Structure 1
């Protein structure tokens, strides 16, 4: 048994080595043409495709009378057919462009050893581009648009880099044991399926197989522990090498700015800007190189499977090819010159950006439902913990009970925090305030009445961002009742408000236009919404810098929720987002304090590299 296990392990390592060596050979022979292809396709996507897709998306919304995509206030007007048609066009064009981008990479790598002329390359690219227009290629849409971006193994593209599971979904799932297990299992299943389908694109490009046939062929050629694990290990080697090169790039990019900070501070802005420009171009090449290396691994696997007799559709006969030999120094000089021009252009455009990024942030830090590291969410202990951490405000939730009173509560049911099947709408205020709630950190407390929560906040001097939640027991005059309760407490003017419900926002602003009210958006796109609110609160996944700029032009404040990762916190602090709502206000406050005390531009450049130089 032990001997069998040892033989299997050696077999896995041997195949991993063969995959890595085969990939390195293909990438090395790709040479300057590969580097030029990577740089050219990235520029086309960033400079041409993304702006065009953005314009089409905005026009699609305007066709239905909308400025921006607002899931909480969707309109189904007469322009909806044109809106849907334009969105479908965007999806089709994006899919076709991504697929052609990958096709070009696979074609170049596949015949890099033998040499391929420009005419042959264009002919092969055209063949697959036409093939992509057939209905038989439709199965690739889900693979390229959803599966690959969510798992990050295989081909990557700037067009799908934002595809991810939103943090507000994953974060809520991880707040319960059952939800955490479901989320982890879901990710593991996605990862398993993606590895099994990893060879889909090479098979599709290199053979006559349809989309469905390519996926079936990939599934067959990754069958078994040896084939499955060797792919994972080979991919791991690529990502480790990419991480090491990325680290070296960061060090090299920062050193010149560190020197000017110490010796010539007035020159730091220019030096940092051009260092960022060079790093962005290098990041394009590193990211593309990693994608090419993964593609090389998959091509090697396809070729091995074919020679080993696996059931794969036969490779198309190649057109007459003439060996072009090794890449000449002239080709490398051409790619280097093009990269330098792009880097200088990006650097010049970044000079003004660094002036903005270097300003000390004034962003407000809001504790999301209190500070859950010190107490259960929406309880007095969580409120005290947020105050002790130094949060500027506490974001909390208010919901109506069965008897029309108000409770501090986020969930419409008690399953997550009290392990009870009851709904808030079915219980009275007196019944709810006797219930003990607990969280995964081991904290426990009782559910507070809204008025008690507000009183305690005022006792400790903590202003609130009060979210009006709809839990099912909402009366038609729930906003009026909330105003009356806060006026009775003498607290209405001391806090600010927001809601996911457009009607509640509009009613609150109509009744009390002097209050500061926000409109919360779980998903946003395009332009800012048409709202009477004073600020918008956008979920982190869709809280783009363009939307923030649009909000500023419209005179609206801009807050983001729920920001829990330090790099994202630092990004929003650097770009002066008005407010960060976070489960970890302590981390956001520490980052803000550090930025307010920093001198020089080294830290600013470091954050800019994290923000702009996207490397897997």
Structure 2
């Protein structure tokens, strides 16, 4: 196929309607991707493998060294603060962020260059990467950091990279915001603003790469002004993402076929076949993600070209990017007049894909053997069962018991007069519509207040003793979280232990807290109790803690952290997991407990996995995890 030189001109929205402009954008994007052929696929696969196999491990090593410089084995935001080596740690983390930013920028640059010059040689490609790398040294490129690391991954509109995957609003934040109407509206407005900003800045990277000029973000903002300008971009990119989603679904179904056959014919070999099926799905998933990203890039390139042709003051396109290379222009022709194309790039891509499949598959054999085991994960009802009652109330506790939860996670907080109530929030705004803080009200005042939730449930704030007593009568063990609301006395842990001993309920429950001081104090008082350390954000390795288990938030509850906890002899529970894919992944990984607002779903999934025959269901979950269109 002859190199595509971008001769097709897309007319401005004033000359074409929205639908015709959208069609023209899709047509040129497809032509760009198609012209890239096997060379484009090779770039996609090679760049992602380099990032996964080289860049991420190196960045991970640098991050561990940065933490070690501060005297930490893992990142724990709850214990992070000024200390010896903290400045060096912060400086090293900034270096890591800078390196990651450069890698992402150069990865996108290579993709855009390849789309415009599909026959470019490695020397010319390196020259273009060097040109963009020099531009990244300019102060004006700093705005790209926020765009590439926050705006782009948070709104999921445009380019994707293994370096930015996983950047998202943590579910414990979004989940809390969705529990009240006002905060849910605020979250929706925030997400809409993010989407709008990303749309208006969608041309930033192509303009930055394709021109020698500066102020790429300003030009993008200007060029996406007006309904007829931005709507075709939205429609075209949405069409590409929808098609990519269909492709991911088809890939998942195809990858499961071999395991269905092996389950029926050779069950003993199923885990090996599943591993290599997963390896193939990972490679094809990388290619599918890359093609979708390339198609989005083609749409944006087409838009920039149309603007360059119709806007005199627009910075000129880099000449080397607008024309085919000399080598491509002199490609020898076959007798029928078509250019002679070499099969070597295609063969090289096939060989690389096979090697990657073997590598991914071999590394996954032991993992899939472990994941095939039936999960015994505990299902914990988060603050009771919100489908049947207000959180941390008697009705919520009774609903959790009726649903069959293994444990109920609940919160205890001290009042102004030093007594205890079941309460999570430090203020009453969300649950009672009052501006009061818990620390400013007495026990009697608090237990007389009615709380309500978005589901229409109502109940009174319960005394901690009443909550624990009912749980004991129901035979429902509790995971009691010690919350700090500002009124806690210096001996609040001792007082809590005394109250539980008087209720004869101390040893029948387990405990956790975000406050490391409270965790340490409780373990010192009663070493025989099961106490957990809750972590809002953790990374790399389990912390040094006297606790018996850790409770990381779902966003940072990685396999690496789970493995580190296991090596340290710590149990591993995760909060707050409310989406089914997250539940399925953690059940497959065999975590010790899942804290969820929907413990009934966790139990249903657990039962289904325990009754599975064969490995097809496990493979579907594994493929769904790795093959993702962002």
The 5 Å alignment of 1:257-336 reads: 257-309=259-311, 311-318=313-320, 321-323=326-328, 324=331, 327-336=341-350
**Match for 2:595 among 559, 578, 581?**
581
Counterpart secondary structure, 2:327: coil
Residue 400 of structure 1: aligned partner: 414
**Match for 1:443 among 443, 457, 463?**
457
Contact 2:171–2:555 (CA under 8 A) maintained in structure 1: yes
TM-score for both structures, normalised by structure 1: 0.96
Q: 2:536 & 2:156 partners in 1: Cα distance? A: 24
1:226 positional shift: 1.1
Query: Does 2:182 match 1:168?
Result: no
Query: Does 2:79 match 1:61?
Result: no
Query: Does 2:160 match 1:156?
Result: yes
1:66 positional shift: 1.1
Residue 548 of structure 1: aligned partner: 562
Contact 2:532–2:547 (CA under 8 A) maintained in structure 1: yes
Contact 1:418–1:436 (CA under 8 A) maintained in structure 2: yes
Residue 412 of structure 1: aligned partner: 426
1:437 positional shift: 0.7
Residue 128 of structure 1: aligned partner: 132
Q: 1:283 & 1:247 partners in 2: Cα distance? A: 11
Change (3 A) 1:109 1:326: farther
Query: Does 2:214 match 1:200?
Result: no
1:540 positional shift: 0.6
Change (3 A) 1:18 1:243: same
Contact 1:253–1:279 (CA under 8 A) maintained in structure 2: yes
1:615 positional shift: 2.7
Counterpart secondary structure, 1:376: coil
Change (3 A) 1:235 1:310: farther
1:526 positional shift: 2.1
Contact 1:220–1:311 (CA under 8 A) maintained in structure 2: no
Contact 2:279–2:359 (CA under 8 A) maintained in structure 1: yes
Q: Deviations over 1:478-506 (max 9, x none)?
A: 00000000000000000000001111101
254-263 or 371-380, which deviates more: 254-263
Change (3 A) 1:90 1:554: same
Counterpart secondary structure, 1:607: helix
**Match for 1:499 among 508, 513, 520?**
513
Q: 2:161 & 2:487 partners in 1: Cα distance? A: 46
* Root-mean-square deviation over aligned CA pairs: 1.4
The 5 Å alignment of 1:199-238 reads: 199-210=203-214, 213-238=215-240
TM-score for both structures, normalised by structure 2: 0.94
Residue 512 of structure 1: aligned partner: 526
Q: Deviations over 1:518-561 (max 9, x none)?
A: 01110112221111111110011111110100000000111110
1:327 positional shift: 4.8
Query: Does 2:393 match 1:379?
Result: yes
Contact 2:252–2:624 (CA under 8 A) maintained in structure 1: no
Change (3 A) 1:274 1:326: farther
Q: 2:36 & 2:197 partners in 1: Cα distance? A: 29
1:209 positional shift: 2.2
Change (3 A) 1:9 1:164: farther
Contact 2:381–2:405 (CA under 8 A) maintained in structure 1: yes
Change (3 A) 1:578 1:328: same
The 5 Å alignment of 1:1-150 reads: 11-112=17-118, 115-150=119-154
Q: Deviations over 1:89-111 (max 9, x none)?
A: 10110000000000000011122
Counterpart secondary structure, 2:320: coil
Residue 473 of structure 2: aligned partner: 459
Counterpart secondary structure, 2:524: helix
Gaps of 5+ in 1: 1-6
Contact 1:221–1:310 (CA under 8 A) maintained in structure 2: no
Q: 1:177 & 1:225 partners in 2: Cα distance? A: 30
1:311 positional shift: 4.3
Q: Deviations over 1:259-316 (max 9, x none)?
A: 1111221221121111101000000000011100000000000001111226421112
Counterpart secondary structure, 1:159: coil
Counterpart secondary structure, 1:138: helix
Q: 2:44 & 2:376 partners in 1: Cα distance? A: 39
Change (3 A) 1:9 1:596: farther
Q: 1:596 & 1:310 partners in 2: Cα distance? A: 66
